[in-house]
Structure 1
Amino acid sequence: MYKHILLPTDGSEVSKRAVDMGLDLARALKASVYALHVILPFQALSYMTQIIPESETSYTEESVRWAERYLGEVRDKAMRAGVPCDSDYVFDKHPCDAILDIAKKRECDLIVMGSHGWHGFTKLLLGSETQKVLVRSQLPVLVCR
């Protein structure tokens, strides 16, 4: 069945539940997992160009620290569950594209990810990376709430 599961994580509670479910599934199937965190690139509206380099550096450093924290939590859970786990973070302005690209590069055969369950205007306004992955993925996607 599934041998290599992609676990995108953003550190949210729903994402953590998806990671737990993905790890349970991987343990049952004797599969490995790949944890991924997508960092949005720094964006700024600027009229004071002298402050941007420092802001971008601070943003990048803080984003990488958070990514390492989220991924470290997944690796720790995987180790306790006896599930082989690799992980990394990437910078991409389109998380859906990054998720699908990594799934292909890492030869994953399932994506397990969370959905915040937004409806109506909130979903329209904020969009849903999970929905985008569902629509565009050629792989099975297990969505957890």
Structure 2
Amino acid sequence: MSYSHILLAVDLTEESDQVATRAVELARSNGAQLTLVHVIEPLSFAYGGDVPMDLSAIQDQLDEHAQNRLNSFADKLDASVEKLYVVSGHTETEIHRIAKQDGIDLIVVGSHGRHGLSLLLGSTANGVLHGASCDVLAVRVHKPESED
């Protein structure tokens, strides 16, 4: 199967490099466009929406920091990146939305491969897989040697 537009979903941890390497290889070998997305879960999700203060300034700072980190991440890739997205919301939902909106035919995500059937792919990779309208590649990531 040949792919024309690949969406690389990254969490911007050190392990994102492993996932990006695979996505770049696939984009290059297929002559495909490459789009990157990083999803930030809003602070209100973490606090259940019942926060007695306005978190919008903090959220804006988090969004700006994430955009800067994603730009730096894209700059170090050995590939041309079509679009960069930093979006707020539920991770799987936002990845699916971007994939449909941009006509993506392959989503590449990282998977930690935890033990047990319910954690086979990891919760994010599993959620992306089950709601996607296109192919999904879950790349097995490994912790850096110093953490093993």
Q: Normalized against structure 2, the TM-score is what?
A: 0.78
Aligned partners of 1:144 and 1:103: how far apart in 2?
18
Aligned partners of 1:83 and 1:36: how far apart in 2?
14
1:46-70 deviations in whole A, cap 9, x for unaligned? 9883xx12x4422x13321332133
**Worse overlay, 61-70 or 131-140:** 61-70
1:94-128 deviations in whole A, cap 9, x for unaligned? 2111101100101111011101222349949xx61
Report the secondary structure of 1:131's partner residue: helix
Query: Contact between 1:6 and 1:35, CA under 8 Å: does it hold in 2?
Result: yes
Aligned position for 2:72: 73
Aligned position for 1:114: 110
Aligned partners of 1:82 and 1:36: how far apart in 2?
15
The answer to which structure has the higher helix fraction is: 1
The offset of 1:19, in angstroms, is: 1.4
Report the secondary structure of 1:35's partner residue: strand
Structure 1 alignment gaps of length 5 or more: none
Q: Would the alpha carbon gap of residues 12 and 84 (structure 1) be closer, same or farther in structure 2, given more than 3 Å must change?
A: closer
Q: Would the alpha carbon gap of residues 3 and 61 (structure 1) be closer, same or farther in structure 2, given more than 3 Å must change?
A: same
Q: Does residue 6 in structure 1 map to residue 1 in structure 2? A: no
Aligned partners of 2:62 and 2:14: how far apart in 1?
18
Q: Normalized against structure 1, the TM-score is what?
A: 0.79
Report the secondary structure of 2:15's partner residue: helix
Aligned position for 1:140: 135
Structure 2 alignment gaps of length 5 or more: 141-148
